[in-house]
Structure 1
Amino acid sequence: MDITTLVLIAAVVVLIGVSKSAFAGALGVFAVPLLMLKLPAAQAIALMLPLLIIGDMLSVRSYWRKWDNQLLLPLIPGAIVGVLIAYLIIDVINAKHLRLIIALICIVFSIKNIFFKKSSLKILSNKIGAGIMSMFSGITSSLVHAGGPPIIIYFTAIGLTPGKFVATAAIFFAMMNVIKLIAALSFGLLTGETILTALAFFPLAFVGNWLGVKINEVLDKVLFLKIMNYLLLVLGFWLLLGK
Structure 2
Amino acid sequence: MEALAGNPLFWLLALIGVVLTGISKSGFAGGAGVVAVPLLALVMPIPQAVFLVLPLLLVMDVKTIQYYRHHASWPELRAVVPAALLGIVAGGLMLGSMPEQALKLTLGIISIVFALWQRLAPVLGGMRGAAWLWGGISGLTSTLIHAGGPPVNIYLIARQLPKLTWLATAGIFFGIMNLTKVIPYLLTGEWGADVFLASLALLPVALLGTWLGRHIQGRIQDRMFMLCCRGLLLGSGLLLVVQASLR
Same fold by TM-score greater than 0.5: yes
Distance 1:41 1:92, change over 3 A: closer
C-alpha change, 1:236 and 1:65, in structure 2 (3 Å) is same
The 8 Å contact of residues 92 and 185 in structure 2, kept in 1 or not, is answered as no
- Residue deviations 1:171-229 (CA, integer Å, cap 9, x gap): 10110011111111122232233223212322232221111001111222211111111
Partner of 2:43: 38
Aligned partners of 2:18 and 2:209 also within 8 Å = yes
> Does the Cα contact within 8 Å between 2:21 and 2:34 map onto a contact in 1?
no
> Could you list the runs of 5+ residues in structure 1 that have no partner in the other structure?
none
1:24/1:189 Cα in 2 relative to 1: closer, same or farther (>3 Å)?
A: farther
| Matching residue of 1:210 | 211
In 1: Cα distance, 2:103 partner to 2:79 partner: 24
1:112/1:203 Cα in 2 relative to 1: closer, same or farther (>3 Å)? same
Which residue of 1 is the match for residue 109 of structure 2?
104
**Distance change (3 Å), C-alpha of 1:66 and 1:127:** farther
CA distance in 2, matches of 1:17, 1:120: 25
Determine if contact 2:21/2:35 at 8 Å carries over to the other structure: no
**SS state of the match for residue 174, structure 1?**
helix
Secondary structure of the 1:139 match is helix
**SS of residue matched to 1:26:** coil
What's 1:86 paired with?
91
Equivalenced residues, count: 239
TM-score (norm 2): 0.88
- 2:15 corresponds to which residue? 10
Moved beyond 6 Å, runs of 4+: none
> Which letter maps to 1:172?
F
Q: Residues 43 and 91 (structure 1 numbering): CA distance in 2 closer, same or farther, change over 3 Å?
A: closer
Q: Provide the identity percentage.
A: 35
Q: Partners of 1:123 and 1:152 in 2: how far apart?
A: 11
Between the aligned partners of 2:158 and 2:190, the Cα distance in structure 1 is: 35
TM-score by length of 1: 0.89
Offset at 1:127? 7.2
Q: Secondary structure at the match of 1:63?
A: helix
Unaligned 5+ segments in structure 2 are none
Cα deviations by residue, 1:72-119 (Å, 9 ceiling, x for unpaired): 111111011001111223354222111121122112212221xx4xx7
Cα drift, residue 120 of structure 1: 5.2
Aligned-partner SS, 2:238: helix
Partner Cα distance (1:37, 1:104) in 2: 21
Q: Partners of 1:230 and 1:16 in 2: how far apart?
A: 15
Structure 2 SS opposite 1:10:
helix
* Matching residue of 2:188: 187
Tell me, in whole angstroms, the C-alpha distance in 2 between the residues paired with 1:120 and 1:106: 11
Deviation, structure 1 residue 126:
6.7
Tell me, in whole angstroms, the C-alpha distance in 2 between the residues paired with 1:201 and 1:154: 31
Q: Call closer, same or farther: CA 1:52–1:127 in 2, change over 3 Å.
A: farther
How far 1:3 moved relative to its partner? 6.0
- The RMSD of aligned alpha carbons is 2.0
Distance in 2, Cα, partners of 1:177 & 1:79:
11
